[in-house]
Chain A
Amino acid sequence: MIEQVVGVVTQMALVLFLSPLIAGFIRTLKARLQTRRGPSVLQPYRDLYKLWRKGMVIPETASWIFTATPYVLFATTLLAGLLIPAISAQAPLSLFGGVLAVVYLLALGRFFLALGGLDTGSSFGGLGSSREMTISAIAEPALMLAVFTVALGAGSTNLSVVAQSALGQSWRFLAPSQMLAFAALFIALIAETGRIPVDNPATHLELTMIHEAMILEYSGPYLGLIEWSAAMKQLVLMALLVNVFFPFGLSSDWSPTAILISLLWFSAKLLVLAAAVVLVETTNAKLRLFRVPELLAVAFVLSAMALISTFLF
């Protein structure tokens, strides 16, 4: 019981406080690759602190949905973060929901975020909601099929069981099915977290923004909560990717030394994946909106091939 409480608290703190760092790392590394100095990696923490102390303006047209959205988004993302294995192979709450629950909790958050976008009555909000729901819908089959391929390999949708079975055979990621599924999930990660080439998190140009258009009317602490949730969602999906495919260094208990060692491993794996995201982001241009389905179709084909190759090998 004590161990479980320690697990929940540790992982909650990890998801809450590591996520802005990863977001900051991606931002800084991207700037360096573009030969800019860029902000410090700690900038997202400063942003959150600043937003927290600001006043906010609520649009006159908005209803309680607008106000409820940041809380729902925060709660669903954080709960999803407690269902995944991060530094221990035994995720603290994985008994109460496996990979399907993670995907659907994130979907619940997105559902409210899209409603929050429509609630203001400004055309930007509607535009963002429409695009966000479209892209997430067509990313869903690729994401799920890749997840299923991994789950079928482990014979379970419980992420702790999946991670433990991966831990049993650390070099399994070299199998063709795992590599293909990883590629598919990587594309889905880019689409879900709204990065180039699908969406540009740095833009505020009407024609290109998706996520930013939905949250255009949010300000102050609410904006802070939404930004924080976006960072947490990114961390959750990245952790899912690194721990399911590369389970190195996952600890099997919650003792302090084990936690420390696996925390280092976890951070190292996340940094490598973040570097990969940055590389993709710097070397590609943003796709036109109606080219995105083609990219996601590629992801779906990759995951279908992953599934077929489990049958062959």
Chain B
Amino acid sequence: MAGLLAYALGMAAGLAGYAWKRTGAWFPKLLCFLSLTGALLELAASLGALFSRSELAWSLSSGIPYLTYSVRLDPLSAYFVLALSLLAAAASVYSFDYIPRSLPGDSSGVFSFFLNLLLLSLTLVFTASSVLFFLIAWELMTVSAYFLVVFHHESEESRKGGLLYLLMSRGGSGMMLIGFLLLAVGAGSLDFTALHGIGQTLTPSFGAAAFLLLFLGFGVKAGIIPLHIWLPAAHPVAPSNISALMSGIVIKAGIYGMARVFFDFYGALPVWAGMSVLVIGIVSALLGVLYALMEHDLKRLLAYHSIENIGIILMGFGAALLFRSFGYPKLAALALVAGLFHALNHAVFKCLLFLSAGGVLQAAHTRNMEQMGGLIRRMPSTALFFLVGAIAISGLPPLNGFVSEWLTYQALLSGYGATPTLTRLAFPVAGALLALTAALAAACFVKAFGITFLALPRGEEAAKAREVSFSMRSAMAALALVCVLLGLGAAWFLPVFDPIIQQVLGFAVSPNLVAGNGLILTAGSLRSGSVSTAVMAVLLMLLGAMPLLGWLVWGRKSTRAAGPAWDCGLPGLTAENEYTATAFSKPLRMIFAALFRPRREIQAEFEVSPYYPKAIRFESEIEPTFEKHVYDPLRHSVLAAASWMRRIQTGSIHAYLTYIFVTLVLLLLFGVRG
């Protein structure tokens, strides 16, 4: 709770600084220090709650009916607060130098105010334990994130992205509100503890309606396809520390909501519910990564990868729901752990990637990868940390992304035995599509890292880039270290999930999943499959040292010279000879042409012969399927309906009085009947 206080202090100080307009260099640093303090205190609180297995609860009545300010730190909440505080600490350290450099002086107060408000409201979202308080915290989070997204409001792109985000979030919270009310009516209470297991007591149609509304409502925030279009519009335009928090943890609020509703409020759901979550997960993962591959805006690329990873998390959740309805709690526990672990892992490596991208953006002054290149020589640390994040997000061993994807694969494979019907075929097919997603993600990050950091700089700004400051680098270093630790020490970390699984399924999960004194991770039992990232990492280092040793012993005499790379006989290799991001993804653009519907236009100017063009203009774009075929018709019909409705808005005060009178009479009649 002391963490909340520190955030609140940060808010107050930010506001005060804004009011005074008198900000020295120390001022933004003080604000970041306050949010760092808050984050560290919360980190301690959540770790304490997870390991001591005690629940913190605290409640304050408001005097307003149905509203109590009640906060409870149960294991599920504590887990998400853990992720939040890790990211908040890193983002605060990053902001020490980022805020003064990237934001104009006067605005740093108001920026920090909203940053602290966002962190505070996120904490409340994860810990609130009554419906109305949860919704209030949710709205606070949405609004504070909106103000941070449009912070560079001079650019139209920011304003548009922010507006789209706000509009879609409104729609989502509307659905959530109705869904929560349906549940609360069934329970006769607004308290989260009273809602535990309420799904079983509702009538099927009531329960199904509430499930769908809550799934879609939280899905807007999480960015599931087809409700994702705000995400690649809003995340990239925000300042980079905010993008990191948005993609890292704000979208996880949607995941937290789903976990809370699916596993705490509902017991066993019907098969269609789990299946729809699984299918939405697959679609989001696959389309997310395919769209990411087509991007050459570094931050938009990362934003699309958030959609992909939300899909992978939902594959775990969907499988867990299915296993629960088939009556296999142990498998459900495995799948749920896979989903939750991936949520934390994604939070960490996505925050890391966005923070490094922010460093690149600050140094190269562009988000366009085609203008970058060669940054590994100019910003070696940033490049190394981005590489760690890239390996983790591609699900490659031995880092944390591999562990949670491995658990997801194992859960999906075990699902084959859980049911005798044709439904079982869905599990291995989902596994194969997860493999496709992961391989495409690896291709995408070869592109992102290779084009951004390797070879020769493609633009003047990239050639002049400088390494970012120490505090920004140390924030990235800390997150990279967390990626490594969560990867190598995964089996030691798993007991964290025990109280969560205990809470929703009633037993501890880590004894089934950990063997060999915490060295080996298993899929339920040693026989069904096991992996040890720690042993793999040690062996990789030993085996990699073998050729080095051989070279030291026998190969010392071989010479080593630096020379130019092969330039096809042209006068020297220039940046124009390099492969571009667009060219890199061209084979996949052609293979998936049915999805992307690429359009390209080439204009060449020549004087004598078409074989010797003077200038070439090349333009290529892909069709934004969802925007064009789903949202454009929707927008048009809403506008048409609005202009039709305008007829009743005559501008005459008499007419308005009549409307009020008629409404009043109708309400009275309705009241009398009810």
Shortest beta-carbon distance, A225 to chain B, in Å?
Answer: 6
Taken together as a complex, chains A and B put the C-alpha atoms of A294 and B233 apart, in Å, by 35
Taken together as a complex, chains A and B put the C-alpha atoms of A124 and B527 apart, in Å, by 45
A217 beta carbon closer than 8 Å to chain B: yes
| Interface locus among B46-54, B572-580, B660-668 | B572-580
Taken together as a complex, chains A and B put the C-alpha atoms of A82 and B585 apart, in Å, by 34
B446 beta carbon closer than 8 Å to chain A: yes
A52 beta carbon closer than 8 Å to chain B: yes
B168 beta carbon closer than 8 Å to chain A: no
Q: Which of A22-65 contact B (CB under 8 A)?
A: 52-65
Q: Given A105-B397, A121-B455, A157-B410 in contact, is the A137-B433 Cβ separation under 8 Å?
A: no
Taken together as a complex, chains A and B put the C-alpha atoms of A289 and B591 apart, in Å, by 10
Q: Which of B331-390 contact A (CB under 8 A)?
A: 373-374, 376-377
Shortest beta-carbon distance, A59 to chain B, in Å?
Answer: 4
Cβ A111 vs Cβ B396 within 8 A: yes
B567 beta carbon closer than 8 Å to chain A: yes
Which listed residue (B528, B544, B555, B578) contacts A155, Cβ 8 A?
A: B528
B138 beta carbon closer than 8 Å to chain A: no
Secondary structure of the B side of the interface? helix
Chain A residues whose C-beta falls within 8 Å of the C-beta of B432 in the assembled complex: 141-142, 144-145, 148, 300, 303
A176 beta carbon closer than 8 Å to chain B: no
Cβ B450 vs Cβ A97 within 8 A: no
- Type the 1/0 row for B524-553, where 1 means its CB is closer than 8 Å to any CB of A: 001111111001100111011011100100
B425 beta carbon closer than 8 Å to chain A: yes
Which listed residue (A60, A79, A141) contacts B563, Cβ 8 A?
A: A60
User: Which of under 10, 10 to 19, 20 to 34, or 35 or more describes the interface residues of A?
Assistant: 35 or more
Taken together as a complex, chains A and B put the C-alpha atoms of A157 and B561 apart, in Å, by 46
B314 beta carbon closer than 8 Å to chain A: no
Which partner residue on chain B sits nearest A129 by CB separation?
B446
- Type the 1/0 row for A123-146, where 1 means its CB is closer than 8 Å to any CB of B: 111110111011011101111110
Taken together as a complex, chains A and B put the C-alpha atoms of A176 and B523 apart, in Å, by 28
Which partner residue on chain A sits nearest B409 by CB separation?
A100
B440 beta carbon closer than 8 Å to chain A: yes
Shortest beta-carbon distance, B349 to chain A, in Å?
Answer: 15
The interface size of chain B toward A, counting residues with CB under 8 Å, comes to 89
Shortest beta-carbon distance, B594 to chain A, in Å?
Answer: 12
Q: Given A58-B562, A101-B536, A130-B583 in contact, is the A138-B391 Cβ separation under 8 Å?
A: no
Cβ A141 vs Cβ B436 within 8 A: yes
Cβ A311 vs Cβ B543 within 8 A: no
Chain B residues whose C-beta falls within 8 Å of the C-beta of A161 in the assembled complex: 527
A194 beta carbon closer than 8 Å to chain B: no
Chain B residues whose C-beta falls within 8 Å of the C-beta of A225 in the assembled complex: 547
Which of A61, A143, A220, A307 has the most CB atoms of chain B within a 10 A radius of its CB?
A: A61
Q: Given A101-B397, A122-B565 in contact, is the A96-B442 Cβ separation under 8 Å?
A: no
Shortest beta-carbon distance, B490 to chain A, in Å?
Answer: 13
Cβ contacts A to B, 8 pairs, < 8 Å = A70-B547, A75-B544, A123-B579, A126-B583, A133-B443, A137-B588, A155-B527, A304-B429
Q: Which 5 A-B pairs have the closest CB atoms?
A: A126-B579, A118-B450, A121-B455, A55-B559, A157-B529
Q: Which B positions have Cβ atoms within 8 angstroms of A? A: 373-374, 376-377, 391, 394-397, 402, 406, 409-410, 413, 416-417, 422, 424-425, 428-429, 431-433, 435-436, 438-440, 442-443, 445-447, 449-451, 453-456, 516, 520, 523, 526-532, 535-536, 539-541, 543-544, 546-548, 551, 554-555, 557-568, 573, 575, 577-579, 583-588, 590-591
